[in-house]
Structure 1
Amino acid sequence: MGHYIEVESGVNVYAEDIGIGQPVVFIHGWPLNHKAFESQIGELAANGFRFIGIDLRGYGKSGKPWSGYDYDTAASDVKAVVDYLELEDFVLAGFSMGGPIAIRYLTKYGEEGIDKLLLMGAAAPSFTQREGFALNMKPKEVDQIIAQVKADRPAFLADFANMFFEQKKSPQFLRWFESLGLEAGAHSTVNSAISLRDEDLRDELAGISLPTAIFHGKKDQICAYGLAEELKKGIPNSVLVPFEKSGHGMNGDEPEKFNTEMIRFLKSSGVKTK
């Protein structure tokens, strides 16, 4: 079942809704959409969970307005979906750029109604290096990505697909993966990259008391493994699950391990730290 939810006047966000049971709200990464999690949908439904896959504004089937690509607005859009679907006792699951958006959701709206937090290859606490933070890309490297997107977005997405996975993927799989990025608005892709470059959530981790799992590929070329270690240090009630053979796309590189660890975490009886 699919829902189109008006998040502001004239802007609709799409959410895929499959299965029954405890909801798991997935927030995708840049510049993808909910289809990136297609290999998780069946596993979740078969294990008594309800998959809620949001296409962020600018991506997939959602509206593509000019503005609203900051994390605050993205979190607000997620809240609109949660409220519209009247979700309770749900798990918030953020992949890559969806990780910091999930964290910002907790900062803005608190933890009421949320059972657990799952961060997967998260672009947090900061995607770029800054004073006191020497991990991951330099801001000028993101500027170079933006220039590549503007010059030849299809060619950039082909290169990006090759960086995304550590294990060899079929040409057909890579074409499919590239197609997800092509469903995004070009301006959306650029504006979200600006947010990835500029947003900083280092001060937002300590307030998280939800049981949290941090999944991260040891060979991630997009969000360095060190980011996961920072998240583990910063979030009090967290566990770090390394994927030794994975790049950024863990669910493509180690699909069986990913699904097994995901279901294990979802079925675990986590307890809040406060």
Structure 2
Amino acid sequence: MKKIIKGKNDVSIAVEDIGYGQPIIFLHGWPFDHQMFEYQYNYFLPRGYRVIGVDFSGFGDSDLVIEEYGYDTLADDIKVVLEELQIEEAILVGFSMGGAVATHYMARHQGFGIKKLILISAAVPQFAKKPAYSIGIKKSEITSMIDQIQIDRPKMIQDFIKKLFHEKTYGSYKDWLTSLALRASSYGMILSALAMRDENVQADLEQITVPTLIFHGEKDTVCSYEVVEEMTQLIPKNIVVPFRKSGHAIFHDETDKLNRTMLMFIQNKN
């Protein structure tokens, strides 16, 4: 069921809320929306779980907030959603940029309503290279992508999507992801890209107190596998599952392994 919840600055946040049972909250990556998780929804719904997909401001069916756009605002919107839906004991799942927002949420709101955390190809502790941080994408490359959004957004999206996969994938699947990205606000894509380029959630990692499952593709060229070492050093309770056949898009490259491992982690009583 589609719901509209008023987030920070009174922005309308679109939420897909389906099923019953323990809630699993999905935070999408850039530049998509919650529909990117449909193969996870189809897996968990018949197994008795409630799936909740949130569209970040400026993506999917959510409105764009221009003021104060960044990880603070996106994390605050998630808090409002959990409060509005009266969520407790949930599993929080974040992919790529959604992983950074999930990490920031856990620190900023002390893990409110969350029992376990799953980070998939997470863009943490930061997405861009900086003088004191050699892992990540060059800041100039992200700036170039932002410039391309303003010149030829469809081509920029298609070029970015090609980088997500380790092996060649069906053109129709790439076309579907392109269609999701084109639903996003152009300016929302710019603002969120700036947040990914400039923000850092390193300090947030140490404040995660719940069991955390880390999925990362060994062939990831968007968020290098090297970030896993830092996550394991800083997150107190973590389990790492490498995906040897995957690039950034684990949800496509090794769908079955992703879903099965998520289920085992969720069902584990520890």
| TM class, shorter-length | over 0.9
> Contact 2:209–2:237 at 8 Å: present in 1 too?
yes
Alignment-mate amino acid for residue 75 of structure 1: A
Q: How does 1:20-169 map to 2 (within 5 A)?
A: 20-169=20-169
Which ranges of structure 1 fall in alignment gaps of 5 or more residues?
none
Residue number in structure 2 paired with 1:207: 207
**Structure 2 residue aligned with 1:218:** 218
Alpha-carbon offset, residue 229 of structure 1: 2.2
Question: Structure 1-normalised TM-score?
Answer: 0.95
Find out whether 1:240 has 2:230 as its counterpart. Answer: no
C-alpha contact 2:90 2:116 (8 A) present in aligned 1:
yes
- Aligned residues of 1:16 and 1:53 also touching (Cα < 8 A): yes
Match of 2:7, SS state, is strand
Displacement of 1:111 in angstroms is 2.2
Once the two structures are TM-superposed, the CA of residue 132 in structure 1 deviates from its matched residue by: 3.0
**Are the counterparts in 2 of residues 68 and 74 from structure 1 also a CA contact under 8 Å?**
no
Residue in 2 that maps onto 1:174: 174
SS in 1 for 2:163: helix
* Alignment-mate amino acid for residue 151 of structure 1: I
1:112-136 deviations in Å (ceiling 9; x for gaps):
4311011000000111122432101
1: distance between equivalents of 2:37 and 2:220?
18
Q: Which moves more between the two structures, 131-140 or 113-122?
A: 131-140
1:237 Cα offset (Å): 0.5
Could you tell me whether the CA contact under 8 Å between 2:103 and 2:204 is conserved in 1? yes
The superposition leaves residues 219-256 of structure 1 with CA deviations (integer Å, 9 ceiling, x where unpaired) of: 11111111122111110100111111111110111111
Q: Output one character per residue of 1:53-80: Cα deviation in whole Å (capped at 9) or x when no partner.
A: 0000100011123334300000011111
8 Å contact 2:166–2:245 — kept in the other structure? yes
Determine the C-alpha separation between the residues in 2 that align with 1:167 and 1:81: 36
Q: Who is 1:229 aligned against?
A: 229
Partner SS for 1:225: coil
Aligned partners of 1:68 and 1:247: how far apart in 2? 32
Mark the runs of 5 or more structure 2 residues left unpaired by the alignment.
Answer: none
Shift of the alpha carbon at 1:180? 0.8
Helix, strand or coil: the match of 1:164?
coil
| Counterparts of 2:93 and 2:245, CA distance in 1 | 21
| Native 8 Å contact 1:121 1:228 kept in 2 | no
CA distance in 2, matches of 1:35, 1:220: 22
Whole-angstrom CA distance in 2 between matches of 1:16 and 1:88: 17
Q: Which amino acid aligns with 1:70?
A: G
**Separation (CA, whole Å) in 2 of partners of 1:34 and 1:249:** 14
| C-alpha contact 1:107 1:204 (8 A) present in aligned 2 | yes
Indicate if the aligned counterparts of 2:28 and 2:34 stay in contact, CA closer than 8 A: yes
Offset of residue 173 of structure 1: 1.1
Q: Do the aligned partners of 2:218 and 2:242 also contact (CA within 8 Å) in 1?
A: yes
The CA deviation string for residues 161-206 of structure 1, in whole angstroms up to 9 with x for no partner, is 1111123222111111101110100000011010001001111211
Q: Does the aligned pair in 2 maintain the 1:229–1:240 contact within 8 Å?
A: no
Alignment-mate amino acid for residue 211 of structure 1? P
1:9 CA drift (Å): 5.2
Q: Is the 8 A contact 1:32 1:181 kept in 2?
A: yes
Secondary structure at 1:152 match in 2: helix
